[in-house]
Amino acid sequence: AAGVIQSPRHLIKEKRETATLKCYPIPRHDTVYWYQQGPGQDPQFLISFYEKMQSDKGSIPDRFSAQQFSDYHSELNMSSLELGDSALYFCASSWTGANTEAFFGQGTRLTVV
Amino acid sequence: QKEVEQNSGPLSVPEGAIASLNCTYSDRVSQSFFWYRQYSGKSPELIMSIYSNGDKEDGRFTAQLNKASQYVSLLIRDSQPSDSATYLCAVRAANDYKLSFGAGTTVTVRA
């Protein structure tokens, strides 16, 4: 079965550079979630989209923005990168609705040097 | 205080034993409850979902939910070395578009 696809898998950027992470949800899933996970930490919710509209917002820095496109893929744009942005970034997708399961992509490991 | 609290680890169990993981949540409108398994450096993998009070069994895994006590647990029977991982409890409220995670419990199964 098709899973959530994230690209790139690994990314190395310098401080103050920009990065774009992409997420392709499971076909027919209409909700996308973005999470950031630092070493030894639990996933921290950044932002989610339902039907191409922002549906919820968590601890996403103002330097980050995200959107969901007409084909339901989503992109997380990160500017003015800082060393502390180094983390695993996960995307998950689900159907919307009361009792639906969310599945995670393999993640993008971002290293800021 | 975190919305979702898990029993502190790490939890070490011998092979073949039962591993018991606990999770409490603070938001009474929480509706959906999940257990994810995460190996180091990998993404969370959904292993159980539970939506109504009681037990739900899937192979060697049993999830238990008690909404009155705002408590959800996961039992792993006949623990195997491959079960060694961090287990994340996740909760979603009704009409909510995010999963809230606990800090995770690291389980080590000793061969």
Is pLDDT above 90 for A23? yes
Contacts of B59 (CB under 8 A, 6+ apart): none
Read off the pLDDT of residues B12-47 as tens digits, 9 standing for 90 and up. 999 999 999 999 999 888 889 999 999 999 999 999
Is pLDDT above 80 for A97? no
**Nearest alpha-carbon partner for A91 in A42, A40, A43:** A43
Rg of chain A in Å (alpha carbons): 13
CB contact under 8 A, B44 and A90: yes
pLDDT band, very low/low/confident/very high, at A1 (cuts 50, 70, 90): low
Q: What is the mean pLDDT of chain B?
A: 94
Residues from chain A contacting residue B88 (CB–CB below 8 Å): 42-43
The predicted structure's pLDDT at residue A25:
97
Instruction: Decide: B47 and B107 in contact? Cβ < 8 Å.
Output: no
Q: Write down how long chain B is.
A: 111
Is pLDDT above 90 for B2? no
Residues from chain A contacting residue B92 (CB–CB below 8 Å): 102
Query: Percent helix, strand and coil across chain B, each rounded to 5?
Result: 5, 55, 40
